[in-house]
Amino acid sequence: MVDRLGIAVVGFGWMGRVHTQAYARLPHHFPQLPLRPELVTVADEVPGRAEQAADQYGFASATRDWREVAADPRVRAVSITAPNFLHREIGVAMAEAGKHIWIEKPVGLTAEDAGAVADAVAKAGVQGTVGFNYRNAPAVQAARELIAAGEIGTVTHIRIRLFSDYAAHPEGALTWRYELERGGSGVLGDLASHGVDLARHLLGEIESLTADTAIFVPERARPSGATAGHTRATGGELGPVENDDYVNCLLRFSSGARGVLEACRVSVGEQNNYGFEIHGTTGAVFWDYRRMGELGVSRGTAYQDQPVSTLYVGPGAGEFGAFQPGSANTMGYDDLKVIEAYGFLRSIAEGTPYGATLQDAVASAAALDAMTRSAERRTWVDLASAQA
């Protein structure tokens, strides 16, 4: 018997749409789920946006006040896709109201914010899933299994890159993303948080780090109205960009492995150039998000001049089989969010976490806080002391 699960979405920019579409696709890809999402209500403070979303996607109701969602008995699970500075308040309130939450990273502005949401979820006994979607790529799951099986020997080092041009245009509007009080740490929270999650997911805990950060576009024009995504603005009053465009970070893992994590939001010529290179004592593995279904693998006993082969992941990797019947059929970004939604509802159904949790968000946020501290002090920061 399939149980109906009342769903709400709070914040209906691009990510709110992605979550909503993921819920709609769940019965198609994961018919075995004992829960069937039912779109109950959508909340967004921008006039008319929630009503438009309700009309387009079939929510039963719409509101401008997220507090009405917390009080709605029809709602059992909530997607929190509002701006970063609202994550803590909304996340804690929804958990305290007994709602399961699927919340986008970085879960607030600091590790303290993420910890507050994690504590509220634990105290309420509800499930919490976090939007670290890149770990859901079947090729990433295949890489994790290869590493765990010792196929590349003992991991020695990893390089993670997250380069994008979404903020490269000087006419990009000065939205909440560029403000410390509302956007937090800039590219650290937006992109490097994904890099930290991938690093931990693949190699384990980070012991210490040192980082360098920079702002390359120091001023932007204030927008004249409501914005969504990466809006441009011209002629408006100029204001300062308060958080970082760029971060470069050296990592030391508890395993003894070393790493480099580099992220930039103003990289001209780069469109979602995300990926990693992982080297071990007998091999290596490579992944490029833009070729999501491919994994470069080098393994053997040659050590020198050892070739790299291309592995096209198929139904045996991660949740690939829920989307495509055979290897080398492509998947996309939205598919990763469907997998995330599946983990969220499965967590609710079984009472056991699947996918990235609030504890993963706390660990990622602690690393971001340590990066900020390191850049300010120009020194290495121990993660244990950063979380103390």
Q: Give me the torsion for CA of 35, 38, 41, 44, rounded to 10°.
A: 80
Residues 39 and 23 sit within 8 Å (Cβ to Cβ): yes
What letter represents residue 179's amino acid? E
- State residue 237's pLDDT score: 84
- Alpha carbon distance 247, 376 (integer Å): 12
Tell me the pTM. 0.94
- Alpha carbon distance 342, 270 (integer Å): 31
Start-to-end Cα distance in the chain: 46
- Alpha carbon distance 145, 143 (integer Å): 5
Give the tokens for residue 12. 């209906």
Residues 13 and 229 sit within 8 Å (Cβ to Cβ): yes
Cα separations in angstroms, 187 against 220, 273, 356, 357: 16, 14, 20, 21
- Alpha carbon distance 200, 185 (integer Å): 20
Residue that is written with structure tokens 């994590």 in the block: 261
Give the tokens for residue 262. 């580099």
- State residue 104's pLDDT score: 98
Look up residue 319 and give its DSSP letter. T
Dihedrals phi, psi of 151, to nearest 5 degrees? -65, -20
Dihedrals phi, psi of 265, to nearest 5 degrees? -105, 0
DSSP string, 341-356: HHHHHHHHHHTS--SS
Residues 123 and 115 sit within 8 Å (Cβ to Cβ): no
Q: Map 175-238 to HEC letters.
A: CHHHCHHHHCCCHHHHHHHHHHHHHHHHHCCEEEEEEEEECCCCEEECCCCCCCCCCECCCCCE
Cα separations in angstroms, 115 against 24, 118, 226: 30, 5, 30
- State residue 387's pLDDT score: 53
Give the tokens for residue 336. 């990763």
Q: What is the CATH number of domain 135-328+363-381?
A: 3.30.360.10
Residue that is written with structure tokens 């499965």 in the block: 346
* Residues forming beta bridges with residue 126, ordered by sequence position: none
Strands 381-382 and 309-312: unpaired
Domain ranges (residues) in the chain: 3-133, 135-328+363-381
Please report how the helices 87-96 and 111-124 are oriented relative to each other, as an axis angle in degrees rounded to 10.
10
Residues 251 and 199 sit within 8 Å (Cβ to Cβ): yes
pLDDT along the chain (388 residues), means of 10: 90 97 98 97 96 98 98 98 96 98 97 98 98 98 98 98 96 90 93 98 98 96 68 78 97 98 98 98 98 97 96 97 96 98 98 98 98 97 74
Residues 285 and 146 sit within 8 Å (Cβ to Cβ): yes
As its CATH architecture, domain 3-133 has 3-Layer(aba) Sandwich (3.40)
Strands 246-253 and 206-214: antiparallel
